[in-house]
């Protein structure tokens, strides 16, 4: 099992029974997510949610005079809430307050890393801002149905995210409309270079192409008074100078840097990164090979989930990845990856490991955001309807069908799915899983598309009445 990072604060004897209960609940949640012989049932998840809230109430009563204490009870409680949150998504309750917990935890990590990285796209912030507002609505809507203990906790965590988001927006506040596209392009190149650096075979030609793009952008920025630093001397001296100047910029950040300073530093970082990765060719120091391979393995597995998400992802699967990443993230010392002797990584290893860590968090964020509000039990039907809808749309784009006979396979599939419903509901045994609205909407959309295609086919196959056929045997007009 992948546990949370350990907290070494002595446990109050009064809290030991709470810890025991939470450990038992976590074990049940883990068994629930690992059992692939059946789908996750709503009743099981709701019962475990109630059990967790019961322990939260007890802890709050014990800690009336020590609200800020953090010990192992809190780390295990966080595990339980994370698993409950992902389980809520698994049963299709994505828009309920408990489901917000996992999203907010991942968003907090993502925002902290964006702030640490200094450079990010305005589009990154727009997406997160929109989702945080959605979470606010879910919490507001759940006030009458969920424990105030949970809602207070979520509200506090969302406020932290909102404050960090406001700081990140401030950093980009001086970007002008004409400089924003160039800034976005530089952010994109920096990320693309990092992606190149983590490939099995280092793509020299692709990196050279990005270098040429950087030089082009550099020329375009000169009229704005933005230039990358220049240096004479050996290649090693140039790299050392670049690192020193960038380190001064990173150690002394401005609350809201001017656009010129922001873009200039980003341009410098890009040129430095090209130089470094070209010299290293993907070779990681032995001392940091283990965390590199671990992070690369996590990212690779998450990328596979991205490809098969609709058919194979159970949202609770993300928990183990979240926990592994959290352990790696929290093992850093003053923001640095350190080796077995406590020595910080060089800039190259530091940037490479951070890229993989941030990319993995970003992928989890995307998987959570793109999770459909449909119960795992109904996903096979939902996926069939989604695929059918795509097929019908493509057929329509290509000009439709030449005869109604070509519509038979689509109509038969639609009718077979429609016949699964009992009193208008998709039933699994005696249960009515969440996601009925999504399925009903998709089914209606597919029927509408099929109806349009059939009508178009009938119209095109009808005999065309011409003036000559109307005139019968009459001779030509005089």
Number of H helices, E strands in the chain: 17, 2
Looking at residue 296, what is its pLDDT?
Answer: 96
Has residue 246 got a pLDDT over 70? no
Structure tokens at 2: 């992948």
Structure tokens at 287: 């001392």
Looking at residue 460, what is its pLDDT?
Answer: 75
Produce one character per residue of 350-365: b if its CB has 16 or more CB atoms within 10 Å, e if not.
Answer: bbbbbbbbbbbbbbbb
Structure tokens at 30: 């883990």
Cα dihedral 393/399/402/403 (nearest 10) = 40
226 occurs within a structural domain: yes
3-class DSSP state of 200 = coil
Counting every residue, how long is the chain? 478
Looking at residue 386, what is its pLDDT?
Answer: 94
- Tens of pLDDT, residues 35-45: 888 889 999 99
Residue that is written with structure tokens 């056929």 in the block: 469
Is the model more confident about 4 or about 370?
A: 370
Q: What is the largest CA-CA distance in the chain?
A: 112
How many angstroms separate the CA atoms of 402 and 390, rounded?
19
**Any idea what the Cα angle at residue 208 is, between residues 205 and 211, rounded to 5°?**
160
Looking at residue 240, what is its pLDDT?
Answer: 52
Q: If pLDDT is split at 50, 70 and 90, which confidence band does 10 have?
A: low
Count the neighbouring beta carbons within 10 Å of the beta carbon of residue 6.
10
CA–chain centroid gap for 143, Å, is: 26
Fill in the DSSP letter of residue 469: H
pTM of the model: 0.85
Has residue 410 got a pLDDT over 50? yes
Residues 6+ apart with CB under 8 A from 71: 7, 9, 10, 11, 12, 15
Task: Using the Cα atoms of residue 327, residue 70, residue 88 and residue 359 in order, give the sign of their dihedral.
Answer: negative
Taking alpha carbons only, the member of 268, 232, 234 closest to residue 248 is: 268
Q: Of 234, 265, 280, which marks where a domain is finished?
A: 280
351 occurs within a structural domain: no
Residue that is written with structure tokens 């309807």 in the block: 385
Phi, psi of 344 (to 5 degrees): -70, 150
Do 45 and 95 contact (CB within 8 A), yes or no?
A: no
* Residue-range definition of the domain harbouring residue 217: 180-280
415 occurs within a structural domain: yes
Looking at residue 254, what is its pLDDT?
Answer: 43
Looking at residue 224, what is its pLDDT?
Answer: 86
Phi, psi of 338 (to 5 degrees): -125, 155
Cα dihedral 382/388/391/396 (nearest 10) = -110
How many angstroms separate the CA atoms of 416 and 428, rounded?
16
Long-range own/partner contacts, residues 31-35 (CB < 8 A, 24 or more apart)? 32/87, 32/316, 33/83, 33/86, 33/87, 33/90, 33/314, 33/316, 33/317, 33/319
Burial of 428 (0-12, 13-18, 19+ CB in 10 A): middle
Do 95 and 21 contact (CB within 8 A), yes or no?
A: no
DSSP annotation string for 145-163: TS-HHHHHHHHHHHHHHHH
Q: If pLDDT is split at 50, 70 and 90, which confidence band does 310 have?
A: low
Has residue 4 got a pLDDT over 60? no
Question: For the chain, what is the domain count?
Answer: 2
Residue that is written with structure tokens 């290509």 in the block: 398
How many angstroms separate the CA atoms of 363 and 109, rounded?
12
Long-range own/partner contacts, residues 13-22 (CB < 8 A, 24 or more apart)? 14/62, 15/59, 15/62, 15/71, 15/73, 18/55, 18/58, 18/59, 18/62, 18/73, 19/72, 19/73, 19/76, 21/51, 21/55, 22/52, 22/55, 22/73, 22/76, 22/77, 22/80
DSSP annotation string for 402-417: SSGGGGHHHHHHHHHH
323 occurs within a structural domain: no
How many angstroms separate the CA atoms of 156 and 6, rounded?
23
Looking at residue 206, what is its pLDDT?
Answer: 95
153 occurs within a structural domain: no
**Any idea what the Cα angle at residue 225 is, between residues 220 and 229, rounded to 5°?**
90
Has residue 146 got a pLDDT over 90? yes
196 occurs within a structural domain: yes
314 occurs within a structural domain: no
- Tens of pLDDT, residues 68-123: 667 888 889 999 999 999 999 999 999 999 999 999 999 999 999 999 988 899 99
How many angstroms separate the CA atoms of 275 and 238, rounded?
9
Average pLDDT, the chain: 87
Has residue 457 got a pLDDT over 80? yes
Has residue 311 got a pLDDT over 80? no
Is the model more confident about 127 or about 312?
A: 127
Cα–Cα separations (whole angstroms), residue 227 to 177, 217, 386:
19, 10, 50
Structure tokens at 379: 């996903």
How many angstroms separate the CA atoms of 56 and 149, rounded?
7
402 occurs within a structural domain: yes
């Amino acid at each position: 099992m992948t546990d949370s990072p350990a907290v070494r604060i002595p446990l109050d004897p009064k809290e030991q029974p709470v810890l025991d209960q939470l450990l038992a609940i976590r074990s049940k949640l883990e068994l629930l997510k690992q059992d692939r012989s059946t789908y996750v049932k709503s009743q099981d998840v709701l019962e475990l949610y109630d059990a967790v809230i019961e322990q939260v109430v007890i802890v709050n009563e014990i800690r009336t005079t020590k609200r800020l204490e953090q010990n192992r009870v809190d780390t295990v409680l966080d595990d339980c809430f994370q698993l409950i949150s992902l389980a809520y998504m698994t049963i299709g309750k994505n828009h309920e307050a408990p489901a917000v917990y996992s999203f907010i935890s991942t968003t907090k990590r993502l925002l902290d890393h964006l702030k640490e990285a200094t450079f990010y796209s305005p589009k990154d912030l727009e997406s997160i801002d929109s989702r945080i507002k959605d979470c606010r609505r879910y919490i507001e809507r759940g006030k009458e149905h969920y424990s105030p203990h949970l809602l207070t906790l979520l509200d506090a965590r969302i406020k932290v995210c909102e404050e960090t988001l406001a700081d990140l927006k401030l950093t980009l506040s001086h970007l002008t409309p004409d400089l924003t596209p160039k800034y976005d392009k530089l952010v994109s190149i920096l990320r693309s270079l990092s992606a190149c650096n983590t490939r099995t075979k280092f793509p020299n030609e692709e990196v050279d192409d990005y270098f040429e793009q950087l030089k082009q952008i550099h020329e375009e920025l000169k009229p704005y008074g933005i230039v990358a630093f220049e240096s004479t001397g050996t290649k090693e001296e140039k790299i050392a100078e670049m690192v020193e100047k960038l380190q001064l910029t990173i150690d002394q950040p401005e609350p809201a840097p001017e656009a010129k300073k922001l873009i200039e530093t980003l341009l410098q970082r890009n040129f430095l990164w090209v130089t470094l990765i070209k010299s290293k060719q993907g070779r990681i120091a032995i001392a940091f090979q283990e965390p590199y391979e671990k992070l690369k393995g996590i990212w690779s597995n998450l990328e596979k989930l991205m490809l098969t998400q609709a058919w194979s992802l159970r949202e609770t699967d993300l928990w183990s990845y979240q926990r592994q990443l959290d352990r790696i993230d929290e093992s850093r010392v003053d923001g640095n990856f350190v080796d077995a002797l406590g020595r910080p990584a060089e800039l190259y290893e530091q940037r490479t490991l951070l890229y993989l860590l941030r990319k993995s968090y970003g992928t989890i964020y995307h998987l959570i955001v793109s999770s459909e509000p449909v119960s795992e039990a109904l996903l096979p039907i939902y996926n069939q309807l989604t695929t059918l809808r795509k097929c019908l749309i493509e057929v329509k784009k290509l000009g439709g069908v030449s005869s109604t006979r070509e519509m038979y396979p689509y109509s038969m599939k639609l009718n077979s799915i429609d016949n699964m419903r009992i009193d208008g509901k998709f039933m699994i045994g005696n249960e009515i899983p969440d996601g009925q609205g999504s399925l009903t909407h998709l089914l209606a959309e597919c029927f509408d598309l099929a109806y349009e295609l059939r009508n178009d086919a009938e119209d095109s196959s009808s005999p065309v009445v011409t003036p000559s056929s109307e005139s019968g045997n009459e001779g030509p007009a005089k």
